[in-house]
């Protein structure tokens, strides 16, 4: 599959004009013969990309005091826990917050409040915060997330995720795509036999079909 993924990535990049911003390169799957009404059949994976995401990500933390100080020093944006309830009462502002950041962290004492007031916005987007124990430096957790791709089907047979950015080399993008492919097919009962189709595209470019080997 590596060669097929690489060919599709190359075609997707060659077929998309240069943009005024750094495009992501995305992989999409459509699966078959899988009952996604059963939660345990759904794809919910965090894949560490061997070549990284290719561009910076934005991380925010619900925290105060010493944890907030450490997080700020690591380049993590701080969200005052006292604003959680207000954010939850303003759906538009909450959605903008969810869109602005790739990942959220939270001190453990605030997890329940975040869930109560922002769970309806963050949950469906797969962006509920990761808990930060008192003994863990948030910078360490953020460091792991910068190379992580989330692959999430929910109850939809078609889903997608980024394999990296257009500025990365073909070999790097291929390694990332292979890691995602292996993780997704590894979660399916029949592996590639449960893949109806797979496509590669840049953010705004045309889709290129990947030849699936069963």
Whether 119 and 155 share a structural domain: no
Name every residue whose Cβ is closer than 8 Å to that of residue 121 and which is 6 or more positions away in sequence: 91, 94, 95, 97, 98
Could you report the per-residue pLDDT of 11-36, keeping only the tens digit for each? 999 999 888 888 999 999 999 999 99
**214 within some domain:** no
Average pLDDT of the segment spanning 73-81: 94
Whether 112 and 63 share a structural domain: yes
The whole domain housing 126 covers 59-145
Please say which residue of 127, 145, 163 terminates a domain. 145
Whether 63 and 135 share a structural domain: yes
Which CATH number covers residue 183? 3.30.190.20
User: Which of 147, 149, 145 is closest to 162 using CA atoms?
Assistant: 149
Q: Where are the alpha helices (DSSP H) in 15-167?
A: 65-73, 84-88, 91-100, 111-122, 138-145
CA 158 to chain centre: 15
Please give the pLDDT value at position 75.
Answer: 92
Q: How many CB atoms lie within 10 A of CB 174?
A: 23
In b/e form, how buried is each residue of 21-56, taking b as 16+ CB within 10 angstroms? eebbbbbebebeebeeeeeebbbebebebebbbbbe
User: Which of 31, 55, 1 is closest to 163 using CA atoms?
Assistant: 55
pTM check: above 0.95: no
Q: How many domains are there within the chain? A: 2
Could you report the per-residue pLDDT of 165-198, keeping only the tens digit for each? 999 999 999 999 999 999 999 999 999 999 999 9
Cα–Cα distance measured from residue 6 to residue 173, given in angstroms and rounded to the nearest whole number: 8
């Amino acid at each position: 599959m590596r060669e097929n993924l690489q060919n599709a990535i190359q075609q997707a990049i060659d077929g998309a004009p240069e943009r005024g911003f750094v495009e992501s390169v995305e992989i999409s799957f459509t699966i078959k013969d899988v009952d996604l009404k059963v939660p345990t059949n759904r794809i919910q994976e965090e894949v560490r990309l061997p070549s990284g995401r290719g561009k910076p990500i934005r991380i925010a933390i619900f925290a105060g005091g010493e944890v907030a100080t450490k997080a700020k020093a690591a380049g993590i944006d701080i969200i005052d826990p006292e604003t959680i309830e207000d954010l939850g009462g303003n759906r538009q502002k909450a959605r903008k917050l969810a869109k602005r950041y790739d990942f959220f962290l939270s001190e453990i004492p605030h997890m329940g409040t975040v869930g109560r007031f922002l769970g309806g916005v963050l949950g469906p987007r797969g962006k509920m915060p990761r808990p930060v124990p008192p003994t863990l430096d948030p910078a360490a957790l953020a460091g792991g997330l910068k190379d992580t791709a989330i692959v999430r089907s929910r109850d939809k047979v078609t889903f997608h995720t980024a394999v990296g950015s257009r500025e990365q080399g073909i070999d790097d993008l291929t390694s990332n795509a292979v890691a995602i492919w292996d993780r997704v097919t590894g979660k399916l009962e029949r592996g590639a036999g449960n893949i109806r189709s797979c496509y590669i595209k840049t953010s705004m470019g045309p889709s290129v079909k990947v030849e699936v080997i069963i």
